[in-house]
A and B are shown apart, each in its own frame.
Chain A
Amino acid sequence: MRDADQPQSSGASPQGPRAANLTRRAFITKGAAAVAGASAVAAAVAPLATIDREDIPSIGEFLQKHYKEMTAEDKEQVFARIRLEVEKRHGVKVTLTDPPALNGVEYVYGLNISRCIGCRRCVHACVKENNLSRSPELQYIRVLEMKKGSIDVESADHYYDPATVPDPDKYYMPVQCHQCAKPPCVKVCPVEATWQEPDGITVIDYDWCIGCRYCAAACPYWARRFNFTDPQVPDGEINPDMTYLSNRPRQKGVMEKCTFCLQRTRVGRMPACLEVCPTGSRKFGNVLDPDSEVAYILRHKRVYVLKEDVGTIPRFFYYFDERGSRYHDPIGAEDTGGDA
């Protein structure tokens, strides 16, 4: 290289007589180098040839607007496209709607720690209802098996697997998205792909998320799940009642999370995890309605907010029974649902 920096005025003239000869040689050498280079690049990008056709965004997808910027017609078009895609992929007729947040409603979720038996039925009901990937397995609810005498999550067992539950020496603490009133996940998102709805539910526009996973780093409740690869749901197990902001199938490379089953709760039903709970440990409702169960619990029960110190003001809380807990009486028909 040192020599190569010689001023070229001296370098140019001696070339004259040999120019033709050199040019041919140079041409062949350079041509060979170019061919080798091009084939190396081709080999490097070869895996792209195996890409799933469905993974390549269509023009429509590519130019699709952010959910909040879509007009009614835009939505109609986009929803029609998504419906078609799901139908093509899974061979089922689906309804894709977009129920709005109800006026004067703020959802709150209470979980009775005294009653939960750790059966994980909520986990699986959620997976089915929300079309969560079965392979790789994705779950919004994580049930922690806690040691009595401590509420430190670090001593919890996430993968307990006994023949029967509950273990009399343990208690159980299911954790899912806390739908914080001051959500750090929303704050950090660089593209506003996630936001809080008027009814308090934090949602994601799966078609807008760029997959940076900053929200996952910010969440103090480990409530966000990322699609590290294509989510797989068997055709027969698709839940066809879908909404744009909740349980429609997700793509590879985007974030997803619990939405308090807004496809159900915004039309007057209960979340799937609550409906399936055999012990009545789960209570859900509108905290702005003073006659609701959740409002009653908040007024009268001993309530515990997980990690209250991080200050995100969750809309999910835990509470304890004074009577009727599984620790005092066996769970029987006579006292399920007795307390709250």
Chain B
Amino acid sequence: MRQALAREPYEQKIRKVEQLVRLAKEFSRQRTSSTCEINDTTGAKEKAIISAIRNRNVLEFLYNGKPRIVEPQTYGISIAGHPLLRGYQRAGENSSGQTKGLRLFETAKMSRLKRTSERFTKARPEHNPNDSALKEVRATLPLPEPT
């Protein structure tokens, strides 16, 4: 499928890029009344992320300008000293074109962070509370109980 898309004529692909951009802008405009937008300071973002982990709230934000919907799993400080969120991306987009999966997000690159009222039930099966990308864990979900 992706190979087939790659082989489409360039002009056709540019039209699809325009559609993607329009969708992304529309997506970022959508707000529910129960959604709380956080201001863009590091402290405010950290507080919101930790609170979202504790309450299992889904987060919405722009990352490198692209919209993401994420279930936060672990928040902490990277080996290089940057605040990072390990989260399961449910929807949105990234530069590789993959929409879903566990990803690392630098909080400095997040904008328009919102803690939604939508809640998820538990950590992802692949969740690791002792995330090797983090030298200091400030909040994390408990491991999911084996089914």
Q: Do A and B come from one complex?
A: no
